[in-house]
Amino acid sequence: MNGIFQSKHFKLEKLRANVYAAIAKEGGGAAANAGFVDLGEKVIVFDTFNTQQASQDLKHLAESITNHPVTWVINSHWHGDHIRGNQTFKDRIIISSESTYTKMKDIYPSRIAAQKNDIDGLTNYIQSLKDHFIQNTETQLQYQINFLSELKSSLPTLELSLPNQTFIDEITFHGQKQSATLFTLGGGHSLCDAMLYIPDEKVIFMGDLLFVNCHPTFFEETDLAHWINILKKVDFMEFDVAVPGHGSAGTKEDILKVIHYISDLTALVREGHPIEEIKIPAKYSNWGSSEVFQQNIKIVEALLNKGTSIM
Ligand SMILES: [Zn+2]
């Protein structure tokens, strides 16, 4: 897109005439993907990144490209890298599921207050990383330093902006040209994950239910069995492009890869080797975010130990 403003936080990709994905750049203030859809006079933004610097760029691009103000802003789930940029849109309609809203309201006031009170601690931590940094040899460390520096510069002016509208199962938005449906099938990656489906364009925004060519992140709240169920249901829907929470835009094939990843890790843990000896399988050796693999294995083990059935 020549001539259009370029953000240092994300790469804007035109997926369809009216659908754009904003793919996070490593080490920027975005940290997760977002996007926007022009329904005709009405514009939807899907997720707001990890910082307000990144979401300001998104708002600028969404409004200058569509020539309309953003009407609706979606939070796919409660994780910070999808919602911390909300304040850029605080005078718009910000929508999440009821459970995501409740979780945000419980967690964020104290978390953000604590982070604002410890900017010095973050500064010292960034400095300690810089002290370990050897020029041109440690790209990942440089990304981490840049990511934390963006987070630090967001903190002094960061305001918590909670969603001001909620939905239970689904809500449909209508514009002059087309409609889009925001829906949730419950929690897989997080306690509640929402997706945005644009049937006329055959595009779906999947938040962190989909990671493309990078390790999906599992947490204690993650429900792996239900995650697989959700992905299998989504696979029946009609679309050609699936925008993930992390990684580049994908297809149904990438959805199947996440299902296989969950089942492969479960099978590996079931073999019973000490978990610290479990190595990344060769088919995932090129995937990004390999640092989360060990944590994922631990989460799978904890679930199996609790007697939870995953597959
Ligand atoms: Zn997440």
Report pLDDT digits (tens) over 97-115: 999 999 999 999 999 999 9
pLDDT value for 8: 96
Please say if the pLDDT value at position 215 is more than 90.
Answer: yes
DSSP code at position 211: B
Ranges 153-157, 175-179, 303-307: which has the least confidence = 303-307
CB-count burial class (<10 Å; 0-12, 13-18, 19+) for 24: buried
pLDDT value for 117: 96
pLDDT value for 201: 98
DSSP code at position 115: H
State the chain's mean pLDDT as an integer.
Answer: 95
Report whether 30 contacts 150 (CB < 8 A): no
Please say if the pLDDT value at position 307 is more than 90.
Answer: no
How confident is the model over 162-167, as a mean pLDDT? Answer: 98
How confident is the model over 202-221, as a mean pLDDT? Answer: 97
Q: How confident is the model at residue 5 (pLDDT cuts 50, 70, 90)?
A: confident
Please say if the pLDDT value at position 136 is more than 60.
Answer: no
Q: If you measure from the C-alpha of residue 192 to the centroid of ligand 1, how many angstroms do you get, rounded to a whole number?
A: 10
Return residues with CB closer than 5 A to ligand 1 (ion): 79, 208
The full 3-state SS of 28-61, as one line of letters, equals: CCCCCCEEEEECCCCEEEECCCCCHHHHHHHHHH
Please say if the pLDDT value at position 137 is more than 80.
Answer: no
241 in helix, strand or coil? Answer: strand
How confident is the model over 277-297, as a mean pLDDT? Answer: 95
Residues in the chain: 311
Instruction: Please indicate whether residue 261 or residue 308 has the higher confidence score (pLDDT).
Output: 261
Q: If you measure from the C-alpha of residue 77 to the centroid of ligand 1, how many angstroms do you get, rounded to a whole number?
A: 7
Q: How many CA atoms lie within 13 A of 48 on its CB side?
A: 32
DSSP code at position 247: S
Q: If you measure from the C-alpha of residue 187 to the centroid of ligand 1, how many angstroms do you get, rounded to a whole number?
A: 11
Instruction: Please indicate whether residue 19 or residue 139 has the higher confidence score (pLDDT).
Output: 19
Q: If you measure from the C-alpha of residue 111 to the centroid of ligand 1, how many angstroms do you get, rounded to a whole number?
A: 17
Q: If you measure from the C-alpha of residue 220 to the centroid of ligand 1, how many angstroms do you get, rounded to a whole number?
A: 12
Q: If you measure from the C-alpha of residue 135 to the centroid of ligand 1, how many angstroms do you get, rounded to a whole number?
A: 31
pLDDT value for 273: 87
Q: How confident is the model at residue 123 (pLDDT cuts 50, 70, 90)?
A: very high
Q: If you measure from the C-alpha of residue 143 to the centroid of ligand 1, how many angstroms do you get, rounded to a whole number?
A: 19
- Neighbouring CB atoms inside 10 A of 268's CB total 18
Please say if the pLDDT value at position 135 is more than 80.
Answer: no
Q: If you measure from the C-alpha of residue 227 to the centroid of ligand 1, how many angstroms do you get, rounded to a whole number?
A: 13
Q: How confident is the model at residue 3 (pLDDT cuts 50, 70, 90)?
A: low
Q: If you measure from the C-alpha of residue 133 to the centroid of ligand 1, how many angstroms do you get, rounded to a whole number?
A: 28
